[in-house]
């Protein structure tokens, strides 16, 4: 890949997990970096590493994105230092596990909304207006498969991820005639500190996460971002899950997520490969059925057209716009 030494990427949540891997990819491609997270020691260590290894300039900004003032302060700091942000990566995020009514902590949940949604909107507002003015720029939004499937036991987290996807899709439409692109990265469960921090260790979804490395998710997101794609669901099984969420009844999708988010009984042997195969077969069957129904006009043209549209979006989700990898 070509080095683009003059460009700068700002990555939030760059000290661990997917954000750290994304920062690696930008650094390897010669981007200068602005790295944001709470831990100033963590940031300094990474900054030193990148500067030495890749000869790029790294600016560390230690901020808590739960603080409503943080986005403005980050923006001001980049302005003061004359840094033009060419790529904004809204990656920082966290979750909270438990029953909303009587287990989870409200203050933590309000912070999650602030970090995952409000700060993301605020940072996007600040940097996007400059990008639009220059008619050049890229934004990567960390959505999730949770964006299309409500997350019982992580209700607030799931809702913030739906918000991110909806927000991103609306902006994509508003900016479709410009050279500014927005890309939604939709990972499934990924092997990072996320689950421990959310108190979701030992859940089925945490077990599934062990099989997907953050580096692979970051690479998928990075490739899609560079190509200006609208969205990328990382991983075939996650593509299947997203496609299913578009065709199955809402309560079935939510019920299935609840199962994934529960902790399995010790006696329960979960065979993930069987589950995954069943999901894939189910999606293909659902798509085929929908196409078949879609071709039956028999006096219910309106319904047939509706079903065809659903089938088309399912097919596109699986094989088209969401690139397979």
Ligand X SMILES: NC(=O)c1ccc[n+]([C@@H]2O[C@H](COP(=O)([O-])OP(=O)(O)OC[C@H]3O[C@@H](n4cnc5c(N)ncnc54)[C@H](OP(=O)(O)O)[C@@H]3O)[C@@H](O)[C@H]2O)c1
Query: Which is closer to ligand X, CB of 38 or CB of 258?
Result: 38
The distance of closest approach from Cβ of residue 206 to ligand X in the complex, given in angstroms and rounded to an integer, is 9
- Which parts of this chain interact with ligand X (CB under 6 A)? 12-19, 37-39, 42, 64-66, 91-94, 115, 142, 144, 187, 189-190, 192-194, 197, 209, 214
Tell me which residue of 285, 276, 286 sits closest to 246, measured CA to CA.
286
Query: Which is closer to ligand X, CB of 187 or CB of 294?
Result: 187
Query: Which is closer to ligand X, CB of 234 or CB of 314?
Result: 234
Report angle CA 277, 283, 287 to the nearest 5 degrees: 150
C-alpha–C-alpha distance, residues 122 and 87, integer Å: 15
The dihedral sign for the CA sequence 20, 23, 27, 28 = positive
Tell me which residue of 10, 265, 254, 270 sits closest to 124, measured CA to CA.
10
Structure tokens at 13: 């949540």
**Residues in Cβ contact with 30 at an 8 Å cutoff, skipping those fewer than 6 apart:** 3, 4, 5, 54, 56
Q: What are the φ/ψ torsions at residue 88 (nearest 5 degrees)?
A: -110, 125
The distance of closest approach from Cβ of residue 12 to ligand X in the complex, given in angstroms and rounded to an integer, is 6
Query: Which is closer to ligand X, CB of 185 or CB of 290?
Result: 185
Query: Which is closer to ligand X, CB of 93 or CB of 137?
Result: 93
The distance of closest approach from Cβ of residue 290 to ligand X in the complex, given in angstroms and rounded to an integer, is 27
The distance of closest approach from Cβ of residue 70 to ligand X in the complex, given in angstroms and rounded to an integer, is 7
Which listed residue (75, 127, 157, 222) is catalytic?
A: 157
Residue the block writes with tokens 């809702």: 159
Tell me which residue of 202, 209, 210, 189 sits closest to 262, measured CA to CA.
202
The distance of closest approach from Cβ of residue 309 to ligand X in the complex, given in angstroms and rounded to an integer, is 28
Strand order in the sheet with 58-62: 58-62, 32-37, 8-12, 87-90, 137-142, 180-186, 231-233
Known active-site residue 157: yes
**Measured torsion, CA atoms of residues 184, 187, 191, 195, in degrees rounded to the nearest 10:** 80
Q: Which residue is nearest to ligand X (CB)?
A: 17
Tell me which residue of 194, 211, 318, 206 sits closest to 264, measured CA to CA.
206
The distance of closest approach from Cβ of residue 304 to ligand X in the complex, given in angstroms and rounded to an integer, is 36
Query: Which is closer to ligand X, CB of 37 or CB of 175?
Result: 37
Taking residue 17's Cβ as centre, other Cβ atoms within 10 Å add up to 23
Question: Which residues carry out catalysis?
Answer: 157
């Amino acid at each position: 890949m070509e080095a683009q030494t003059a460009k700068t990427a700002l990555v939030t949540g760059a000290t661990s997990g997917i954000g750290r891997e994304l920062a690696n990819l930008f650094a390897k491609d010669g981007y200068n970096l602005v790295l944001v997270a709470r831990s100033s020691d963590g940031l300094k260590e990474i900054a030193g590493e990148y500067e030495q290894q890749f000869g790029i300039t790294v600016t560390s900004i230690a901020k808590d994105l739960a603080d409503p003032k943080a986005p403005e302060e980050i923006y001001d700091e980049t302005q003061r230092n004359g840094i033009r942000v060419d790529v904004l990566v809204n990656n920082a995020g966290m979750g909270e596990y438990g029953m909303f009514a009587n287990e989870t902590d409200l203050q933590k949940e309000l912070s999650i909304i602030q970090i995952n949604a409000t700060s993301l909107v605020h940072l996007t507002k600040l940097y996007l207006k400059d990008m639009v003015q220059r008619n050049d720029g890229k934004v990567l939004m960390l959505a999730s498969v949770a964006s299309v499937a409500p997350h019982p036991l992580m209700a607030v987290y799931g809702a913030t991820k739906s918000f991110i996807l909806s927000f991103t899709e609306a902006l994509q439409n508003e900016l479709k005639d410009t050279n500014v692109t927005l890309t939604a990265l939709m990972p499934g469960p990924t092997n990072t500190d996320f689950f421990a921090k959310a108190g979701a260790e030992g859940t089925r979804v945490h077990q599934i996460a062990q099989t997907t490395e953050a580096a692979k998710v970051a690479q998928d997101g990075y490739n899609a971002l560079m190509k200006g794609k609208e969205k990328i669901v990382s991983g075939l099984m996650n593509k299947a899950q997203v496609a299913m969420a578009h065709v199955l009844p809402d309560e079935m999708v939510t019920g299935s997520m609840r199962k994934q988010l529960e902790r399995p009984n010790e006696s329960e042997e979960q065979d993930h490969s069987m589950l995954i195969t069943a999901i894939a077969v189910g999606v293909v069957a659902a798509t085929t059925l929908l196409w078949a129904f879609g071709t039956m006009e028999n006096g219910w043209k309106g319904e047939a057209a509706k079903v065809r549209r659903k089938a088309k979006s399912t097919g596109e989700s699986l094989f088209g716009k969401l690139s397979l990898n």
